[in-house]
Structure 1
Amino acid sequence: MIVITAPTGNIGGHLLPLLLESAPARGEELRVIVRDAARLTDAVRERVEVITGSHGDPEVVDRAFEGADAVFWLVPPDASLTPEDAYSGFTRPAAKALVAHGVGHVVGVSALGRGTPVADRAGLVTASHAMDDLIAGTGVAYRALANPSFFENVLEEAGSLREKGVFTDAVDADRRVPLVAVADIAAVAADLLLDRTWTGSDSVPVLGPQDLSPDDLARIMTEQLGRPVRYERQPLDELYDTLVGYRLNEAFAQGIVDMKRAKNEGLDAGVARTPATATPTTFEQWCAQTLKPAVLSDLSDLS
């Protein structure tokens, strides 16, 4: 039995179909924890066991982990909380349930940067690493998917790209870093969940096919969208004020700022890309398949 948390999210939405395709042939049953079961299609609900509720709820994870062999763990960060409460606080009930039910394997979504000079002052990333330690401390076999930033973060800029041809971030325009598609993260998670011959606790870097800078992203988006795109760097103090203006918890907002600062100081640069750590989807491919329809569809609606 494999339990999937956040099955309708960015990563879970790619992971669940992969497991539905492969798990039955291996004799694996699937169980999902979801707040709103209506977000699952009828076809999916017919093939999985559904536990309704939050996977931060002790009663929910206690029911969900009974009889489970493996768990896919993803914390949906709650910006109304401090980073510690959003990650480790949310995960503590699950950690207790893992022990109580003797779950053998957990694959978690985490971040790059462990062991780097800035790892202990990297905001949300530091909090995610503490969550990893909490899960590993239960004695389960644990693999933390150590991810850089996602291609999908650019989708938050779709409106600005559509209206002004501009996207923003808080890092140097020429700083090249790894970036990855969420579909590729899901594929790595599926492989680990289905082949549980691994033991102990470790991280699994998921680095995408190449390092890219914001200037590289602007060039590729210009080519793929067929319209000029440029990058504007947002000062960190301005980013903080913007986040607090959106009513984020001040500590959580500071956690985002600290993460951005750490990324600009080399947080994601400590792992070499090898055939084992690289993933296949290029930014060009992702732009053509995902970003371009999101940005240009509204333009066609207005024409």
Structure 2
Amino acid sequence: MIVVTTPTGSIGSKLVRNLLDRDAKVRVIVRDPARLADDVRERVEVVPGTHGDLDVVTTAFAGADAVFWLAPPNWRMENLDAAYLDFTRPACEAIVSQGVRRVVDVSALGRGTPYADKAGLVTASLAMDDLIASTGVHLRSLALPSFMDNVLRQVDSIADDGVYREPLAADHKEPTCATADIAAAASRLLLDDTWTGRGSVAVLGPEDLSGNDKVAIMSEVLGRPVRFEHTPPDAFLAGLRASGASEAMVQAFYDMTMAKSQGLDNAEPRTPESSSPTSFRQWCAEVLKPAVDAR
């Protein structure tokens, strides 16, 4: 039995389908079972509730061999420990009490770099890995850069104004990956019962791209000009605050972004294994263009 948290999210929803396509037994934890697609809900065991609740995870982890763990973003948390560590502690207790053997969690790049201790959300993610590992469970952490799918947050700006914005410099190159490739990496690990111990698996996409590179590709795929616009720090912080994020989460997101600008995501060596297949051009054609056209 494989337990999947966040089964309606951008990674979890793809992961569940991957596992079902391989005839795996899947149990999901979900606040609102109605959000599951009908064909998925008919084929999985459903445990209603939040995976930050001890009773819920204890029920869900009973008899499970493997768990996919993702701490959901909560921009209103008053501190990072509450968002990552406190949220994960019940799961760690249930991992031990229910004898879960393997966990695959969603984490970040940067462990061992000079920026890891002051990288906001990344620092919290790495601390969460350590907390899970402290249970003695076999652990693989997905070490991830920024997601291509985050570009979808700017569909309106891209479609209406031909503008794509980033707080990073226009020529700063870094890896970026598709959530479909993250789900594929997670499914491979969850279906493989031969690995033991602790390790990380990087999912870097096939190439490093700058903001200028991205808008050039968007322009070609969309058949319309898209230009890059740098978001200065003050405007970036103001935008986060306007979204309703707590001050602690605003600072955490800012610290992560500044660490990325200094090379946090560039320290991981690119290998054939870490270079996931979906290119930004392919993602734009398959995901971004339909979303823009729907506008």
Give the TM bin, normalised by the shorter chain.
Answer: over 0.9
3-state SS of 2:294 partner: helix
Q: Which residue of the partner structure matches residue 180 of structure 1?
A: 177
Distance 2:17 2:155 in 1: 26
Q: Cα offset for 1:203?
A: 1.0
The Cα of 1:247 is off from its aligned counterpart by 2.0
Alpha-carbon offset, residue 30 of structure 1: 1.1
1:74 and 1:250 map into 2 onto residues whose CA distance is: 23
String of CA shifts for 1:159-213, please: whole Å, max 9, x gaps.
0001111011111111110000000000000000000211111111111000000
1:57-104 C-alpha deviation (Å, 9 max, x unpaired): 111101001111000001111111122211111111101110111100
Partner of 1:68: 64
**Aligned equivalent of 1:293:** 290
Please report how far the alpha carbon of residue 55 of structure 1 lies from its aligned counterpart in structure 2 after TM superposition. Answer: 0.4
Deviation at 1:237, TM superposition (A): 2.5
Displacement of 1:42: 2.5
Q: Does the alignment pair 1:93 with 2:90?
A: yes
Q: Secondary structure at the match of 1:253?
A: helix
Aligned equivalents of 1:84, 1:165: Cα separation in 2: 38
Question: For residues 144 and 213 of structure 2, what CA distance do their matches in structure 1 show?
Answer: 20
C-alpha displacement of 1:241: 1.9
Who is 1:42 aligned against? 38
Matched residues in 2 for 1:237 and 1:127: separation?
24
Q: Displacement of 1:43 after TM fit?
A: 2.0
* 1:119 alignment counterpart: 116
> Partner letter of residue 75 of structure 2?
A
Specify the alignment match of 1:15 in structure 2.
15
Q: Let me know the Cα RMSD of the aligned residues.
A: 0.9
Matches within 5 A, 1:1-303: 1-22=1-22, 24=23, 28-81=24-77, 82-298=79-295
Q: Deviations over 1:270-294 (max 9, x none)?
A: 1111111111001111101100111
TM-score (normalizing by structure 2): 0.98
Instruction: Point out the more displaced range, 144-153 or 226-235.
Output: 226-235
What secondary structure sits across from 1:111 in the alignment?
coil
- 1:168 aligned counterpart, secondary structure: strand
Q: Distance in 1 between matches of 2:176 and 2:184?
A: 15
Q: Where does structure 1 lack aligned partners over 5 or more consecutive residues?
A: 299-303
CA distance in 2, matches of 1:241, 1:284: 31
Letter in 2 for 1:75: A
- The 2-side partners of 1:264 and 1:295 are apart by 28
**Mean Cα displacement is larger for which, 78-87 or 278-287?**
78-87
Number of positions where the alignment pairs a residue of Structure 1 with one of Structure 2: 294
User: For residues 244 and 11 of structure 2, what CA distance do their matches in structure 1 show?
Assistant: 26
1:38 is matched by which residue type in structure 2?
Answer: A
CA distance in structure 2 between the aligned counterparts of 1:97 and 1:245, rounded to whole angstroms: 37
Please state how far the C-alpha of 1:224 moved relative to its aligned partner.
Answer: 0.5
Aligned CA distance change for structure 1 residues 97 and 249 (closer, same or farther; 3 Å): same
Cα distance in 2 for partners of 1:208, 1:114 equals 19
Per-residue CA deviations over 1:11-56 (Å, capped at 9, x if unaligned) read 011101100011x2xxx42100011101112222221110001001
Once residues 216 and 263 of structure 2 are traced to their aligned partners in structure 1, the CA distance between those partners, rounded to angstroms, is 23
SS at match of 1:263: helix
Instruction: For structure 2, list consecutive stretches of 5 or more residues without a partner in the other structure.
Output: none
The amino acid that maps onto 2:197 is G
The TM-score, its normalising length taken from structure 1, stands at 0.95
**What's the CA shift string for 1:101-150, capped at 9, x where partnerless?**
11000000001111111111100000000100000111000000000000
In the alignment, residue 129 of structure 1 is paired with which amino acid? L
Comparing 238-247 and 141-150, the one that deviates more:
238-247
